[in-house]
Structure 1
Amino acid sequence: MSPKYTKALLAFVILLIVTIPFGLEYYTSQPSFCGSCHIMKKYYATWEKSKHRNIACVECHYAPGQQHTLTAKFKGLSQLFSYLATSGTEVRKKTRIDDSSCSTSNCHPLDEKFNSKKIKFTDKVSYVHKTHFDKTIEGQKLHCSTCHQHRSSSTHFEVPQENCFLCHFKNTGFNEGRGKCVLCHEMTDKPLQKQFENGGGPAGVKPITHKSLKEAGVLCTSCHIELIRGNGDIKEENCLDCHEAGEDLAKAQDKKLMHSAHVAKGEIDCHNCHTPIVHKETEDILEIVRSQCALCHPDHHLYQKALLTGEAVEGVASTPGLMSRVKTNCLACHTKEDTDKKGQKILRGSPEACVACHTKEHNKMLAEWKTTIAKELNFAKESEAKAAQMIARSKGKKQGDEIAEANKALAKGRHFLQIIEYGHGVHNRKYSIMLIDEALNNFDEIIDNFEDE
């Protein structure tokens, strides 16, 4: 081989050595190369249909200036190993898009125009970026990908409304704080009554509008309580997809830690942890109210619970119900199907429930307890009436502070009797008798102090 030929061959080899890496990098940087991977085909397909189809994958998936670094090369190798190691069609780990990839001067620079621009999110809702940058949940740091996510096979990425609902309605009262309707919806002057449509309606009569209802102090829940359903609870079982049970799981309710470790770092989506909150109309607007007793009866069965728990009150020691130790609840005793005075179906307590757990002799226990408590309650009410009568007679004869103290003692005793009467003392016989005794102590003290007046 001639020296000239050797030099030419050597030059060609050197050229190949120099150009092949650049050629490989160019080839592997093309979207078509990304789409050739079996786990990327559906993502590539949605990219081709998206507004970003003229922007190469590496322009977004690597931060500006990162594409040619060792970090990027190792990241590419890890993706190659994932490709070779799996025969599935899913990407195992969520991709993380750096905010700087979105906010370059050629894309969406974070200037005042971008921050304050009103974007039409839905037909009724506009969106402003700056508002959301300024107000975040404890521990969170919002990223572009916090809201803009790949969620379905039909779009490359989108802003799921479920994410909006979770942030706005989680741990907020209806139409309060970040859940206020006017943050997203415009308060209109459109008449709500049919007769006022198209400028009609009785002369001199003002139509009812959302604005007039707000001015009158009418609660939004009067008409829209069904629009928000769910509470966004943590699905702790999902933690086990990444963590082991034990110490890690015990931290699941630490909101600041969870948000900083997962949301701020862009590792997972909100609904990997939270159950969804639904915000939309439903045809049956009454069922949600009918099925949630506490909406109309916020203190329903409060006295029954007070008796069963038997918490310590002034003058009475803590005395939980006999069956609280084995965590017996209402359904253990209320087994008899019946109807109330309004014809509504209810479950009543029955002696048969006592027998089912205990012995046949317990069949009479419920009736005996009812009789005993009723007798004691009637006796206490006689003392209550006498104490109230004496206070009334002493007006003008006793000092004002003495009468005030007596009324305070009377109210305390009456409250104890109300717990027993309205909560049904059989729920905790021993505690009921103790409450009656303390009520009698209050009434007797009033009678002794005011008897001579």
Structure 2
Amino acid sequence: MKRITYLVLVIGMIVCATALNGCIHPDDAERASPPDGGAYLNSTNIDCMDCHTVQYFTIKDGSGRHAHLNCTFCHIQHGYQPDCRTCHPDTHGTGIQGCGICHPDPHAPELRINDSHINDSICQPCHLPQYDAIDKGTGRHSKLKCDLCHVQHGYLPSCEDCHGLFHGSDVTECDDCHDPHVPESIEFDYGNNSECARCHHTVIEETFAREHTKHADLSCYMCHPLHAETLMCIDCHPGHSTGMSMRDCRNCHRIGHVPTDILYSPDSAETKSGLCVDCHAKPFNTMYESESEHRYIECVECHPIHDTTIVCEVCHTMGPSHGTECVACHDSAHDTIP
């Protein structure tokens, strides 16, 4: 009797295992090989919903191309999981093998990767130019993670989200000048000054518009071949002396757009006469070689602003014995010895 009972139990277990075959797949079990013909060719997705609800709604609510497919297009036999490369052999090149690294859910491969343990290097194989640009960049974007801006694959944020309208409300197309991955590298139409004016209109208004010089008729790139780069004055203009450097030029010509504005400090402790000698050698030498007391004062004491001269009365008291016309006796203020 016991033998019959055991035999019935064994037969029952075999029947149950056979009935459940295909619904239970241990993780370490080998996936079934695709059969010669499909077992569910006439099935629709709704037939799979009772047991595969999560997958059903993932496909149904998806926005990618998989959302339009029937379950049996990929799963031609229950339990069979195809290789992505069967349909997508070289989507990202032959070097990409592990599709699941970036597309963890094959039912919605268009969805983002949401794994904080995965670093930006997973983006490199498919987005090599962008990855290299960020990796070699020197700006603040080079320190950011890809998904800080691209919170979902394919999503392109607006620069305004983080930076606002940095150059004002009339400049809204940031990518006209900036590569978003390397925004510090500015690219623009070198022959179109109006592009520069969009961001630098204040400088133009305060210089070229205020005083039209020969520089105002040049293209910006003549002096700025690259953004934020300025050529040296002596690249185009010979110095006032052979030993002049760019720093010497900027001592007087502080605004390159309006070089005719000669600016310097009127304080004799800061501006020494040696600064003037390159352009005004003749009056400097006359004063230096004279025996008058003027040789001991700095040029700025009489010329606090370029091309202006204070009147003699500021320093010298006029009296009846000397008269009021200084030049009647003193031919030159640089050599006051009659």
Could you say whether these structures have the same fold, taking a TM-score greater than 0.5 normalized by the shorter chain as the test? Answer: no
TM-score range, shorter chain: under 0.3
Q: TM-score with structure 2 length normalisation? A: 0.27
Higher helix share: 1
1 or 2 for the larger relative contact order (CA 8 Å, sep ≥6)? Answer: 1
After TM superposition, the score normalised by the length of structure 1 is 0.22
